[in-house]
Structure 1
Amino acid sequence: MCACSYVVLIPLCNICKILIGFGLCNCFFSINCTHNLNNMKKLYLFNFFFLFLLGNVLAQNQQDYSNNSTLAQRVKALAAKYPQLVKSKSLTQTIGGRDILMLTIGTGKTEQKPAVVVVGGVEGKHLLGVEMAIGFAEKLMASSTVDSIKTLLDKQTFYVFPNMSPDATEQYFAKAKNERSGNATKTDDDRDGNINEDDSDDLDGNGKITWMRIADPTGKYKLNTDDPRSLLMADATKGEIGKYILLPEGIDNDKDGEFNEDGDGGVAFNKNSSYNFKPFVAGAGEYAVSEKENRALFDWLFDAFNVYAVVTFGPTNNLSTPVTFNAPGVAKRIITSWFEADAKANALVSERYNKITKTKDAPKTQSESGDFSQWGYFHYGRLSFSTPGWWVPKVAPDSARKEKKFNNEDAVASYLRWATGQGITNTFTPWKAVAHPDFPGQTVEVGGLDPFVLINPPYKMVDGIVAKHTDFIIGLAGMAPQLDLINVKTEKVADGLTRVTLKVMNTGDLPTYTKIGDRSYFLKKIVVNVKSNANQTFVSGRKTQTLESIQGKEFKELTWLIKGTGKVTIEAGSPTTGSKSIEVSL
């Protein structure tokens, strides 16, 4: 508390109390308390200054990934600082009582403008995805006075869901830091009739759940000759013999021979989607979309017909390397491959992504069953793009440190070499012998790579990653489908008839909606409507008609034969493209 003598003499308003809660000087804000302001103008100016300062305090003080409380503060600060551009709400709460937050960004009637959805936290271990989503919103708003961004926000909407796994991400801040994907739903993962009876245990008391290596001739692992701090699976075809059992750190609490197989962390958001859902898989849930957060997001998205693209910050990556068209997969009753036209759009966006972010050497990823980004395409019917945003960079051996080229591909050894080159420390726990009740008389060591570090970079790198991916999303929005009515021609024919011809063109790079959207019969088509008066008669051509998807830079030509004089108004539009109208004289 500030020691200024008059602090206790002046009553504090709620705003002052909030500021004190953020550790700001009491005396400065007490003398400016609203109890001492004489008119609303001063109050308005003070509130504006408070919101500006609050945003800066949050940005400057943060030194690590956001816990749920910090994320909520960042969301509230955005909505308060940019009330004309940002609306926030809680979509639902998880079983663990944590909010699924949502930001709507744009001007005016946001639901009537083409939109991009940005989703973070689909994988509970991927803290970076949360930062990328909320960071995108913050950087977009920081540039909201720039003309190009102002124009973008007038034309398009952004829906941001920063963290879909708040129960799981909170484990990063737990007393014993432990990677977790599932929410707080209680599950019987080992199907033994008991719930959460065999969780991880911090055997060495260092506040991290790492690994155990047990010296055992039946083990399948061997020390990595490139870096003995890591272990590799022994290859029997090469005559290699395993010497270690490798297990996550813990005790067999339920004495069933398995370790940590039924701990806290129930259903994973990224395994609970309806596309390619696999039952009886740990973390998948009893049935597809069983969880409140999945249901709430999907229900909301299905009502958002204006969404033309979904961007997911998660483990799947179809941006560094796009999907490939697979005709047999499209021919199946249950489609498992992107349509050719959609795959071409993915390739176009991938090219833009690599150019803007300048990322390289991305590892190949395999989508899990129930993956959200796959759902975004196959069941939601939108162009769905996903990237983890960061991976361990490939580094050449440093001759100054007498490093040699690796003989084996190993993520842990690669990370440790990279971390050494970057001066990163405290991300590896040296192996240490412990007495383990389940392995009497055997050598058991606890240690290894710390949780979270393989897929989350040091926090000091996050801002640069967020900046690049913000530029990418803005670039993606610049590729949005957009309609124009061009090459309008009128031709007088006999008996007072006029032939009107025009082209409905998609001037954007992306299709007005996906080919898979045609199969779902759910997405909204382009509606072309001709408004006429009572003295005008349509001899051919329909006053109102729908058009199938128009690919980027392509068009559909329409013709009408109209009897009468005066003017008609032709309008074309859809939720994903916006609308365009022209007036034509007959």
Structure 2
Amino acid sequence: MKQNSLFSLVLVCVMCFSSHAQTDYRNEQQVTAALKSMASQHSQAQLTSLVKTAGGKDIWMLTLSDGAPDSHPGIAVMGGVQGDHLLGTELALNMANNILTNHREVLKKTTFYIFPNLSPDATAQYFAATKFARHGNATQTDDDRDGQVNEDPFEDLDGNGIITMMRVENPTGIYKMLEEDPRIMVMSDPNQGERGNYDLLTEGRDNDKDGDFNEDGLGGVAFNKNFTFNFPYFTKGSGEHPVSELEHRAVIDFLYTQWNLYAILTFSEENNLSKPLKYNKGGASKRVITSILEDDELINEMLSETYNKLIPPTNAPNGSAQGGSAFEWAYFHFGRLAMSTPGWWPQKFEGDSINAAPENEKANFLAYAEQQGINAFTPWKEIRHPDFPDHKVEVGGMHPFVMKNPPYALVDSIAGKHTDFILEVAAMQPELQLVNLKQEKVGNNLTRITVDLHNNGLLPTHTQMGDKSRWLRKINVYLKTNKNQQLISGKPRHVIEKIDGDDSITLSWLIQGSGNVTLEATVPQAGTATKTINL
């Protein structure tokens, strides 16, 4: 009887736990609770709010380190870079938890700076009564530059709580139904003998009666458009000038003081891990460089090979940067090893009726979504629209978020693979070592010391871009003598630009005298190596 009671109690506990298991992406309060829980349970985790956004939401940073954070080479992980990419936040959180729970040994050599959600104002829209893909923060912006703010927002005309699209029958329209799937609207091509018979608009009304629909709603400044490299001036969501927002200034101000950072992983639609960037001589030769540099291309290829073994690149999007992005800034202006990936993308439908033309991307996704049981589409429904009293108007279309964020049940598996990847990057990190030390007595109380300064990591101490920018700190090698010794040849301080992965530089000194001398080689992003020598 007692055993049955105990079993019943355990079963009830398991059921209670299961009923509270996470089934959807975490909102702001849940993200904050998860971060505070990690910080309270693990001495290697420190939680800091860098700043509050215009919407009053915290920009959290979770620092993972065994010892002083800046005493180890560092990797930054950025989630929530785009407001409709909730997966990035989950990956950053899960990776932090995986490291703290299962891989704490890595923290003895590597520091992680985790920014789980850099767009909290925007991601809140996923949890709002009316869902739509939002990128901007809570800064008030006049997106149509008419002197008014938020005067023409979306409206949920069919009352389903999701902003989709409107198709309006119009013989002069430029859109038509896709032949393979008439739910999908595509632009017609007159050169191919195609005729359009629809206008396609976002769901809502023309509130300011200017002929445009929903052009000035909850705009704001997008985190991934407000950085300094290739800033997209006069573009919706980019801001009045680079780094105009509180969150951007707080993040950049912090990162620019972290000399130990050697790599930044960004979860966003830019993707140089599935498909590495290609060196372009013309772009690399410009005064304002627009191409990855030649040496860095090789490093990108190596990291891409590592990533693709864990996350196969089949159907991976190209994900080229559009200007003002965190990823571009991290490489071109910050000079660090920059990595970016969306983390997940839909697989191609393995059916027999949909070809692979670019305009069929949504049709392929819908077929895949139906195969996977994903609710991704609102069927077209006719409505009465005050702006089109004499036209047939239908509301429907693809749901926001679904093409960028997988079903939540897949998140743990995706996060596990990305944790494995970042641990492999940490295993490659630059590491200074003093090896092959030789002492040679040459008479007259003289000793020649020769040593190889070796980078034991597979990654270079500096990217080629970082070396070119002259922003990253150089390698310093010090020979520290005592008052009874005299340096005859060699320098008491050598400054070395960079050392490639698994490469070495040989240094030599001639010293007169006896006693101990100390060699120290140091650079924040590759650590410190010391040797004490008794002459």
TM-score bracket, normalised by the shorter chain, equals over 0.9
Question: How far 1:57 moved relative to its partner?
Answer: 6.3
Structure 2 vs 1, CA of residues 60 and 536 (structure 1 numbering), >3 Å: closer, same or farther? farther
Please point out which of 95, 98, 115 is paired with 1:161.
115
**1:236 and 2:186 correspond:** no
Task: Kindly indicate whether the alpha-carbon contact (under 8 Å) linking 1:226 and 1:406 is maintained by their aligned counterparts in 2.
Answer: no
**1:104 and 2:63 correspond:** yes
SS of equivalent to 1:89: strand
SS of equivalent to 1:349: helix
Task: Kindly indicate whether the alpha-carbon contact (under 8 Å) linking 1:490 and 1:500 is maintained by their aligned counterparts in 2.
Answer: yes
**1:410 and 2:360 correspond:** yes
Alpha-carbon deviations, 1:235-281, whole Å to 9, x = none?
A: 12111111111111111111111111111131001000011112111
Alpha-carbon deviations, 1:366-409, whole Å to 9, x = none?
A: 211101111001111100100000111113215xxxx4546664
Which residue matches 1:133?
A: 92
Which residue matches 2:138?
A: 184
Which residue matches 1:90?
A: 49
Equivalent AA in structure 2 for residue 132 of structure 1: L
Task: Kindly indicate whether the alpha-carbon contact (under 8 Å) linking 2:354 and 2:360 is maintained by their aligned counterparts in 1.
Answer: no
Task: Kindly indicate whether the alpha-carbon contact (under 8 Å) linking 2:349 and 2:365 is maintained by their aligned counterparts in 1.
Answer: no
Question: How far 1:347 moved relative to its partner?
Answer: 1.0
Output the CA distance in 1 between the equivalents of 2:185 and 2:202.
Answer: 13
Output the CA distance in 2 between the equivalents of 1:201 and 1:115.
Answer: 45
Alpha-carbon deviations, 1:502-560, whole Å to 9, x = none?
A: 11111101111112112322211111111211111111111112111111011111111
Which residue matches 1:72?
A: 32
Which residue matches 1:62?
A: 22
Output the CA distance in 2 between the equivalents of 1:304 and 1:406.
Answer: 45
TM-score after normalising by structure 1: 0.87
SS of equivalent to 1:303: coil
Output the CA distance in 2 between the equivalents of 1:59 and 1:106.
Answer: 34
**1:340 and 2:294 correspond:** yes
Task: Kindly indicate whether the alpha-carbon contact (under 8 Å) linking 1:226 and 1:407 is maintained by their aligned counterparts in 2.
Answer: no
Which residue matches 1:351?
A: 305
Question: How far 1:229 moved relative to its partner?
Answer: 0.9
Task: Kindly indicate whether the alpha-carbon contact (under 8 Å) linking 1:396 and 1:405 is maintained by their aligned counterparts in 2.
Answer: no
Output the CA distance in 2 between the equivalents of 1:537 and 1:492.
Answer: 15
Please point out which of 363, 377, 380 is paired with 1:431.
380
Which residue matches 1:377?
A: 331
SS of equivalent to 1:410: helix
Task: Kindly indicate whether the alpha-carbon contact (under 8 Å) linking 2:176 and 2:195 is maintained by their aligned counterparts in 1.
Answer: yes
**1:392 and 2:346 correspond:** yes
Please point out which of 397, 416, 424 is paired with 1:475.
424
Alpha-carbon deviations, 1:429-470, whole Å to 9, x = none?
A: 000001111111101100011111111111111111111111
Structure 2 vs 1, CA of residues 220 and 392 (structure 1 numbering), >3 Å: closer, same or farther? same
Output the CA distance in 1 between the equivalents of 2:183 and 2:487.
Answer: 80
Equivalent AA in structure 2 for residue 497 of structure 1: L
SS of equivalent to 1:153: helix
Equivalent AA in structure 1 for residue 254 of structure 2: W
Which residue matches 1:560?
A: 509
Question: How far 1:198 moved relative to its partner?
Answer: 0.6
Output the CA distance in 2 between the equivalents of 1:262 and 1:274.
Answer: 25
Output the CA distance in 1 between the equivalents of 2:187 and 2:414.
Answer: 33
Please point out which of 578, 581, 585 is paired with 2:527.
578
Output the CA distance in 2 between the equivalents of 1:516 and 1:139.
Answer: 32
Task: Kindly indicate whether the alpha-carbon contact (under 8 Å) linking 2:186 and 2:359 is maintained by their aligned counterparts in 1.
Answer: no
Question: How far 1:484 moved relative to its partner?
Answer: 1.1
Gap runs ≥5 in structure 1 = 1-27, 29-52, 144-148
Q: State how 1:393-542 maps to structure 2 within 5 Å.
A: 393-397=347-351, 403=353, 405=355, 409-424=359-374, 426-542=375-491
Output the CA distance in 2 between the equivalents of 1:172 and 1:453.
Answer: 11
Output the CA distance in 1 between the equivalents of 2:144 and 2:192.
Answer: 34
Please point out which of 172, 195, 198 is paired with 1:218.
172
Output the CA distance in 2 between the equivalents of 1:354 and 1:563.
Answer: 55
Output the CA distance in 1 between the equivalents of 2:112 and 2:247.
Answer: 19
SS of equivalent to 1:416: helix
**1:319 and 2:279 correspond:** no
Equivalent AA in structure 2 for residue 357 of structure 1: I
Gap runs ≥5 in structure 2 = 1-8
Equivalent AA in structure 2 for residue 102 of structure 1: M
RMSD: 1.7
Question: How far 1:216 moved relative to its partner?
Answer: 0.8
Question: How far 1:58 moved relative to its partner?
Answer: 11
Question: How far 1:427 moved relative to its partner?
Answer: 1.8
Structure 2 vs 1, CA of residues 85 and 59 (structure 1 numbering), >3 Å: closer, same or farther? farther
Question: How far 1:151 moved relative to its partner?
Answer: 2.8
Equivalent AA in structure 2 for residue 422 of structure 1: Q
SS of equivalent to 1:336: coil
Alpha-carbon deviations, 1:32-82, whole Å to 9, x = none?
A: xxxxxxxxxxxxxxxxxxxxx9xx969952111111111001111111111
Please point out which of 81, 98, 101 is paired with 1:122.
81
**1:297 and 2:251 correspond:** yes
Structure 2 vs 1, CA of residues 408 and 101 (structure 1 numbering), >3 Å: closer, same or farther? closer
Question: How many residues get paired?
Answer: 522
Structure 2 vs 1, CA of residues 111 and 247 (structure 1 numbering), >3 Å: closer, same or farther? same
Output the CA distance in 1 between the equivalents of 2:504 and 2:424.
Answer: 23
SS of equivalent to 1:254: coil
Matched residues, percent identical?
A: 49
Alpha-carbon deviations, 1:129-187, whole Å to 9, x = none?
A: 111111111111221xxxxx333111110000000000000000111101100000001
TM-score after normalising by structure 2: 0.95
SS of equivalent to 1:61: coil
Output the CA distance in 1 between the equivalents of 2:459 and 2:278.
Answer: 17
Task: Kindly indicate whether the alpha-carbon contact (under 8 Å) linking 1:125 and 1:179 is maintained by their aligned counterparts in 2.
Answer: yes
Equivalent AA in structure 2 for residue 366 of structure 1: S
Output the CA distance in 2 between the equivalents of 1:60 and 1:550.
Answer: 51
Question: How far 1:495 moved relative to its partner?
Answer: 2.2
